[in-house]
Amino acid sequence: MAPTTRSLQRAQRVRVATPARQCRFSTASDVAVPRPSPGHKFFPYESLYQSVLDKKKKDESYRYFRSIARLQEQFPYARCSLTGKKVDVWCSNDYLAMGSNPAVISAMEDALHTYGANSGGSRNIAGHSPLAEKLEESIAELHKKPAGLYFSSGFAANEAALIALGTQLPGCIIFSDELNHASMIDGIRHAKAKRHIWKHNDLSHLEALLASYPREVPKIIAFESVYSMCGTIAPIAKICDLAEESGAITFMDEAHAIGLYGPRGAGVAEHMDFAAHQPGQYTGRTTMDRVDVISGSVSKGLGTMGGYITGSEAMIDMIRSVARGFIFTTTQSPAIMAGANAAIQYQLHNDSGRIALQRNVATVKRKMARADLPVLPNRSHLVPLMIGDAEITRRVTDILYDEYNIYVQAINSPTVAMSMERVRISPTGAHGPAQQDVLVGALVEIWTRLGLRKASDWQRAGVWDAADADTTQLWTDNKLGLTPVPSVAGHLAYPLHDMPVKARLEDTLL
């Protein structure tokens, strides 16, 4: 059972019970297929495309993109391509500003000028290089595993590896958390192995499903460490216990945790044994050691592009040899691989970025809790604000953008179930107190203007209860050096408020 308590599970069940739980892309069977006009011999392709789009617009699952250009030297700001105004970006997955990190940029520049823009082909044809080898050594070093394999994206890594495992392990059964990312879902589906979906973070459900198979049958338990749309954290050690008891292997996606958790930035599994991973303390057999396959993305906390898996030598070599999503695609550009390697090495040796980020997360969550804003309770760096209606979610993000110069993306179906729409806020280390106050003030004003449900309303409706709001962050105040001190007004203040603001809103906004 995840630390996020029973009522959060209830929240997820509400999600499951939602009529539009069909979190999937529309297919031809969902739309009225247009009839060819009389005398017309061909299928009306364009009319079908339009019908699909019309349906998506009608049910509010159509996706609107904003054109913004991120400003390398003014992270986290971006410029609106339409109006030229600067906006404060609160929804980027470049959590640690590694996309603007000088070590990363200089490694990319060097590789670009030395090796050119292209890798020459797939690894099997012409794309293997010392850059790929170095990067894979760093991936293995980060997770303390024997070997690593780099893919062109995190999506490709999950999909290709799960297909390979699911097809190579004879009679394999795959157990997948119901909130797993689309890349794992697709990998599991395409493996064509028998599969079971277990209720999000529900260990009893997983245990019961596992119990119906003999120990010797090959099994994979697939899950994420941090679930990116609700911020929940998996009970990793307990899942490993169940895997060991039932003869399963574990496949865990750390995509949103790499760089952000653990003393060396290896993710949540490393964070769980924080002291054991401090320099000179490692003795082996930690939670991270117990996970058989760790997958990750280099495109989020590591600020570049690509994804990977890491685990035993033989497993990695097998996947390298059979995974179609690895074999039949061009290797990433040398510059990207050099940047990815520099980002891992930087995070292994610098914890200041994750600490700055997690301090801002802690204060943003406190400010939002004081304002009764409906943050779905969790222990991670993610701040999902529940709205529950696609059209209103878009209105909220439009007002933030048009009136407050704040960019957050509306999250709608199929990323989350219909009626569970939300805005997903991801503070960075550069979002100091002034920016936090502007964001929270804007949200409070918009919540009042539109009469939206507050946290207490969701709690009254039984979606989650007040106790969840106190859920302790994985990065505790203690770890962050955030000791509360009494302020003059008698309220608790946090020393962070007195820290210099890196980029004050009034200095950077036009």
Ligand X SMILES: Cc1ncc(COP(=O)(O)O)c(C=O)c1O
The residues binding ligand X (CB under 6 A) are 153-155, 158, 181, 183, 224, 228, 253, 255-256, 297, 299, 307
- Element (H or E) spanning 506, and its range? helix 505-508
- Structural contact between residues 293 and 307, judged by C-beta atoms closer than 8 angstroms: no
Q: Find, among 291, 203, 205, 201, the residue nearest to 250 by Cα.
A: 291
Determine the Cα–Cα distance for residues 369 and 433; give it in Å rounded to an integer. 15
In the bound state with ligand X, the residue whose beta carbon lies nearer, of 183 and 341, is 183
- Rounded to 10 deg, the angle between the 334-349 and 130-143 helix axes is 30
Q: In the structure encoding, which two tokens stand for residue 254, read together?
A: 């750390």
Distance of closest approach, residue 29 Cβ to ligand X, in angstroms: 27
Q: Find, among 175, 124, 173, the residue nearest to 323 by Cα.
A: 124
- Rounded to 10 deg, the angle between the 433-450 and 352-370 helix axes is 30
**Measured distance between the N- and C-terminal CA atoms of the chain, rounded to whole angstroms:** 48
Distance of closest approach, residue 225 Cβ to ligand X, in angstroms: 9
- What are the angstrom distances between the C-alpha of 309 and each of 61, 158, 253, 336? 32, 8, 9, 17
* Residue 315, amino acid: M
Distance of closest approach, residue 180 Cβ to ligand X, in angstroms: 8
* Residue 271, amino acid: H
**Cis peptide bond prior to 130, omega within 30° of 0:** no
* Residue 2, amino acid: A
DSSP E strands, 307-458: 307-311, 383-386, 406-407, 410-411, 422-425
Q: What angle do CA 238, 242, 247 make, to 5 degrees?
A: 145
- Residue tagged 């033989």 (tokens): 314
Tell whether the torsion through CA atoms of 356, 358, 360 and 366 is positive or negative.
negative
Distance of closest approach, residue 89 Cβ to ligand X, in angstroms: 16
Residues belonging to the active site: 300
Distance of closest approach, residue 144 Cβ to ligand X, in angstroms: 21
In the bound state with ligand X, the residue whose beta carbon lies nearer, of 158 and 345, is 158
- Element (H or E) spanning 448, and its range? helix 433-450
Distance of closest approach, residue 271 Cβ to ligand X, in angstroms: 17
Distance of closest approach, residue 507 Cβ to ligand X, in angstroms: 32
